[in-house]
Structure 1
Amino acid sequence: MDTILCTCSIKSRLLIPSLQMFVSESCSWHVYDEDMARITNFDSPFALPAELQFSFTKEIEIFYTGGKHICSSDLASFAEYVRKNWDKDEFFGYQFLNGLNPMMIQRCSKLPKNFPVTEEVVKGLLGKSTLEAEIKKGNIFLCDYKMLDGVRGNVVNGEQQFLTAPLVLLHLDHHGLMLPIAIQLGQTPGPENPIFLPTDSKHDWLLAKICVRAAEYCVQEVDFHLLRTHVLAEVFTLATLRCLPSIHPLYKLLIPHTRYTLHINIMARNLLITEEGVFVRLLRRGTSSLTYSSLCLPENISERGLEDVPNYYYRDDGIQLWNIIYRYVTGVLQHYYTSDEHVQKDTELQSWIREIFTNGFLGRSNTGIPESFQRMEDLLKFVTMVIFTVSAQHAALNNGQFDFGGWMPNYPTALRKPPPKEKGQTTMDTILETLPNVSTTVNSMAILKVLSINSTDHYPLGCFPEELFDEEVPCRCIKDFQEWLKLLSGRIEERNKTLKHPYTYLNPKNVDNSVTL
Structure 2
Amino acid sequence: MTRDNKYASQTLNSYVFVFLTDPNSESRSSSIYIPRDETFGHLKSSDFLAYGIKSISQDVIPALKSVFDINFTPNEFDSFEDVFDLYEGGIHLPTDVFKEITPLPVVNELLRTDGEEFLKFPVPKVVQVSKSAWMTDEEFAREIIAGLNPGLIRVLQEFPPKSKLDSTVYGDHTCIITKEQLELNLDGLTTDEAIQGKKLFILDHHDSIIPYLRRINSTPTKAYASRTILFLKNDGTLKPLAIELSLPHPQGDQYGVVSNVYLPAIEGVESAIWLLAKAYVIVNDSCFHQLVSHWLNTHAVVEPFVIATNRQLSVLHPIYKLLHPHYRDTMNINSLARSSLVNADGIIEQTFLWGRYAMEMSSVIYKDWVFTDQALPADLIKRGMAVEDPSSPHGVRLIVEDYPYAVDGLDIWDAIKTWVQEYVSIYYPSNDTIQQDSELQSWWHEIVTVGHGDKKDAPWWPTMQTPQELIQVCSTLIWIASALHAAVNFGQYPYGGFILNRPTLSRRFMPEKGTPEYDELSTNAQKAYLRTITPKFQTLIDLSVIEILSRHASDEYYLGQRDSADFWTNDTKAQEAFKRFGTNLANVELQLVQRNNNETLRNRVGPVSMPYTLLYPSSEEGLTFRGIPNSISI
TM-score w.r.t. length of structure 1: 0.87
Equivalent residue for 1:477? 577
Query: Which of 265, 276, 280 in structure 1 is aligned with 2:334?
Result: 265
Equivalent residue for 2:91? none
Query: Which of 274, 279, 286 in structure 1 is aligned with 2:365?
Result: 286
Give the drift of 1:292: 2.4
Deviations 1:175-199 (A, max 9, x none): 2111111111227698942111104
Distance in structure 2 (CA, Å) of the matches to 1:161 and 1:187: 13
Distance in structure 1 (CA, Å) of the matches to 2:46 and 2:324: 19
Report if aligned partners of 1:161, 1:414 keep a CA contact under 8 Å in 2: yes
RMSD, aligned α-carbons: 2.8
Paired positions, count? 487
- Answer with 1 or 2: which has the greater Rg: 2
Give the drift of 1:122: 2.6
Equivalent residue for 2:200? 140
Equivalent residue for 1:179? 239
Matched, 1:37 2:16: no
Deviations 1:4-47 (A, max 9, x none): xxxxxxxxxxxxxxxxxxxxxxxxxx997689334579974675
Query: Any residues of structure 2 matched to 1:184-333 within 5 Å, and which?
Result: 184-186=244-246, 192-199=258-265, 201-275=270-344, 277-306=356-385, 307-333=398-424
Report if aligned partners of 2:248, 2:258 keep a CA contact under 8 Å in 1: no
Matched, 1:345 2:406: no
Mean CA deviation greater in 442-451 or 300-309: 300-309
Q: Partner of 2:554: helix, strand, or coil?
A: coil
Query: Any residues of structure 2 matched to 1:43-442 within 5 Å, and which?
Result: 44=31, 47-49=34-36, 52-54=39-41, 55-57=43-45, 59-62=47-50, 63=52, 64-69=105-110, 71-81=118-128, 83-111=131-159, 112-113=161-162, 114-145=174-205, 146-152=207-213, 160-186=220-246, 192-199=258-265, 201-275=270-344, 277-306=356-385, 307-364=398-455, 367-370=458-461, 372-419=463-510, 426=518, 427=521, 428=525, 429-442=527-540
Report if aligned partners of 1:153, 1:278 keep a CA contact under 8 Å in 2: no
Equivalent residue for 2:557? 459
> Structure 1 pair 329/368, CA: closer, same or farther in 2 (3 Å)?
farther
Give the drift of 1:201: 0.4
Equivalent residue for 1:502? 611
Mean CA deviation greater in 454-463 or 430-439: 430-439
Structure with higher RCO (Cα < 8 A, 6+ apart): 1
> Structure 1 pair 124/257, CA: closer, same or farther in 2 (3 Å)?
same
Q: Partner of 2:243: helix, strand, or coil?
A: strand
> Structure 1 pair 34/84, CA: closer, same or farther in 2 (3 Å)?
closer
Gaps of 5+ in 1: 1-29
Gaps of 5+ in 2: 1-5, 18-28, 53-104, 112-117, 163-173, 250-255, 346-355, 386-397, 600-604, 619-626
Mean CA deviation greater in 213-222 or 141-150: 141-150
Give the drift of 1:361: 2.7
Report if aligned partners of 2:8, 2:359 keep a CA contact under 8 Å in 1: no
Q: Partner of 2:106: helix, strand, or coil?
A: helix
Report if aligned partners of 1:213, 1:412 keep a CA contact under 8 Å in 2: yes
**AA partner of residue 611 (structure 2):** P
Give the drift of 1:430: 3.0
Report if aligned partners of 1:142, 1:168 keep a CA contact under 8 Å in 2: yes
Q: Partner of 1:228: helix, strand, or coil?
A: helix
Deviations 1:116-159 (A, max 9, x none): 22222234211222222211111000111121113259999x97
Report if aligned partners of 1:40, 1:238 keep a CA contact under 8 Å in 2: no
Give the drift of 1:367: 4.7
Distance in structure 1 (CA, Å) of the matches to 2:7 and 2:361: 17
> Structure 1 pair 351/242, CA: closer, same or farther in 2 (3 Å)?
same
Q: Partner of 1:377: helix, strand, or coil?
A: helix
**AA partner of residue 592 (structure 2):** I
> Structure 1 pair 423/292, CA: closer, same or farther in 2 (3 Å)?
farther
Distance in structure 1 (CA, Å) of the matches to 2:503 and 2:493: 12
Mean CA deviation greater in 292-301 or 387-396: 292-301
Distance in structure 1 (CA, Å) of the matches to 2:197 and 2:429: 46
Mean CA deviation greater in 456-465 or 273-282: 273-282
Report if aligned partners of 1:217, 1:413 keep a CA contact under 8 Å in 2: yes
Q: Partner of 1:481: helix, strand, or coil?
A: helix
Q: Partner of 1:185: helix, strand, or coil?
A: strand
**AA partner of residue 505 (structure 1):** L
Distance in structure 2 (CA, Å) of the matches to 1:235 and 1:478: 26
Report if aligned partners of 1:459, 1:512 keep a CA contact under 8 Å in 2: yes
Report if aligned partners of 1:192, 1:422 keep a CA contact under 8 Å in 2: no
Report if aligned partners of 2:34, 2:331 keep a CA contact under 8 Å in 1: no
**AA partner of residue 543 (structure 2):** M
Distance in structure 1 (CA, Å) of the matches to 2:10 and 2:612: 39
Report if aligned partners of 2:138, 2:238 keep a CA contact under 8 Å in 1: yes
**AA partner of residue 511 (structure 1):** I
Give the drift of 1:294: 2.6
Distance in structure 2 (CA, Å) of the matches to 1:58 and 1:345: 47
> Structure 1 pair 360/187, CA: closer, same or farther in 2 (3 Å)?
farther
Distance in structure 2 (CA, Å) of the matches to 1:43 and 1:122: 53
Deviations 1:64-115 (A, max 9, x none): 3244337532331303147422211000000111111111101112121411
Equivalent residue for 2:628? 511
TM-score w.r.t. length of structure 2: 0.72
Give the drift of 1:384: 0.3
Report if aligned partners of 2:434, 2:466 keep a CA contact under 8 Å in 1: yes
> Structure 1 pair 263/379, CA: closer, same or farther in 2 (3 Å)?
same
Distance in structure 2 (CA, Å) of the matches to 1:31 and 1:472: 46
Query: Any residues of structure 2 matched to 1:487-498 within 5 Å, and which?
Result: 487-498=587-598
Q: Partner of 1:394: helix, strand, or coil?
A: helix
Report if aligned partners of 1:140, 1:169 keep a CA contact under 8 Å in 2: yes
Report if aligned partners of 2:127, 2:134 keep a CA contact under 8 Å in 1: no
Give the drift of 1:462: 1.1
Equivalent residue for 1:486? 586
**AA partner of residue 242 (structure 1):** R
Distance in structure 1 (CA, Å) of the matches to 2:344 and 2:126: 32
Deviations 1:185-229 (A, max 9, x none): 227698942111104801111111000000001100111100111
Deviations 1:294-347 (A, max 9, x none): 301101111212122121011111111111111111111111112111111212
Mean CA deviation greater in 362-371 or 378-387: 362-371
Distance in structure 2 (CA, Å) of the matches to 1:369 and 1:353: 14
Report if aligned partners of 1:244, 1:251 keep a CA contact under 8 Å in 2: yes
Report if aligned partners of 2:10, 2:300 keep a CA contact under 8 Å in 1: no
Report if aligned partners of 1:462, 1:482 keep a CA contact under 8 Å in 2: yes
Mean CA deviation greater in 216-225 or 372-381: 372-381
Distance in structure 1 (CA, Å) of the matches to 2:443 and 2:314: 11
Report if aligned partners of 1:57, 1:457 keep a CA contact under 8 Å in 2: no
Report if aligned partners of 1:194, 1:422 keep a CA contact under 8 Å in 2: no
